[in-house]
Amino acid sequence: MSIATLYLHMKKAYVLLLMLTLFSVSCIKGNPSDIPTEGETNPPSTIKLSMVDKNATTQTKALYSQLWAIQSKGFMFGHHDDLWYGRKWYNKPEGSDTKDVCGDYPAVFGVDFAEIMDDRCLTSTSQAENAIRKRCILEARSRGEVILACCHLNNPLTDGDAWDNSNNKVVKEILTEGSATNIRFKTWLDRLAIFAAELKDDKGNLIPIIFRPFHEHTQTWSWWGQSCTTKEEFIGLWKFTVNYLRDTKGVHQFIYAISPQMDVPKTKDDFLFRWPGDDYVDFIGMDCYHGLNPSTFTTNLNAISTVSKEKMKPCGVTETGVEGFKDSDYWTKQILTPATGQAVSMIVMWRNKYDPQETGTHYYSVFQGHPSVSNFIKMYNSPISLFSKDLPDMYKMADGITIN
């Protein structure tokens, strides 16, 4: 038996023991008035959630219900591009830095849709990479994992990259019907709709995606950020994108996630910066690059959990990590401890750049040989950290939840 397999068995045994303990406690504790008398029943209450897309596919609604339900059990561990490349490997089917360390895949696979959409998709390099993206999404879904997609879209007005904030007219032009930028941006959304329609599981069902366009809009560096847009323009851009994909292109497999950047201690009101409206947001995300400061992370997890409960929308950490970290206790100190007792569905680490010669330090998660390997396994063994093999059927409706 390999070490990774042994750890997995230990984790499952620990979880089973915990469940049996909780069950036994529930049998001997409780208020007698809570026990129905003969002939009486206490029907379980039903939680009602609402989605942006009322015509969302059955599996998309099911995933949404599970995102809410799983928050009471723990957090799904995720890693951006984990199935595509790692620190020392590239495009290896079933590859994963995470699996190399703990024997299990992340529960959430993060991916970027930008090169599927903007004009980079016309190059042979991007076409080859987009084929890999598709393969990884299909692979993740085949194991029952969750797919989370961001978009570092190029600037459709200036032809600059996502961080080209040199012109504050770009969103205004996108929203001007018939303008060259408007037509170009629609073409980009058309490409996304085509790609989404090709994402099907082994039974032919469309694969649900947690889609987070225009992430980190609270910052200034992107062309959709606060230095280039007014509040009205950003909200208009968000609604235009949702309406076009959902109503014009008939894309019904997206869960729409907003993800402000929260690097310093924030309150719940900060999460509502340029809020597009409850009818246009499904999932409340947070990109949190707070450094080695677990108290900040704890504060922001408290805040996002509060907003989640008030809005009745699931939430999660859509990006986090420390570039080039070397701390041997990173996972228990910086991730597990702050997450304990919180109600967040996921914590997703940013990517490990493919760098086989290790000439740089652009990595945000564990890999073989990193000093935090044993500590990562300790986090993995926690009953509140959920990896691929820990997941329930994320594409089956959760008990006691209905979706409007």
Q: What is the pLDDT of residues 362-402, one digit of tens each?
A: 999 999 999 999 999 999 999 999 999 999 999 999 999 99
Identify each DSSP E strand in 219-290 by its residue range.
Answer: 254-258, 283-288
142: exposed, middle or buried (Cβ count in 10 Å: 0-12, 13-18, 19+): exposed
Q: Which two tokens stand for residue 95?
A: 């590859």
Alpha-carbon gap, residue 144 to 394, rounded angstroms? 7
223: exposed, middle or buried (Cβ count in 10 Å: 0-12, 13-18, 19+): buried
CB count within 10 Å of CB 260 equals 23
Q: What percent of the chain has pLDDT over 70?
A: 89
Alpha-carbon gap, residue 126 to 134, rounded angstroms? 12
Active site residues: 216, 319
pLDDT of 45 reads 80
Torsion, Cα of 369, 329, 319, 355 (10° steps): -20
pTM for this predicted structure = 0.90
Number of helices (H) and strands (E) in the chain: give both, helices first.
12, 11
pLDDT in tens, 145-168: 999 999 999 999 999 999 999 999
Lowest mean pLDDT, pick from 44-48, 121-125, 389-393: 44-48
Terminal Cα-to-Cα distance of the chain (whole angstroms): 47
CATH of the domain spanning 47-403: 3.20.20.80
The phi and psi torsions of 84 (rounded to 5 degrees) equal: -95, -45
Lowest mean pLDDT, pick from 7-16, 104-113, 326-335: 7-16
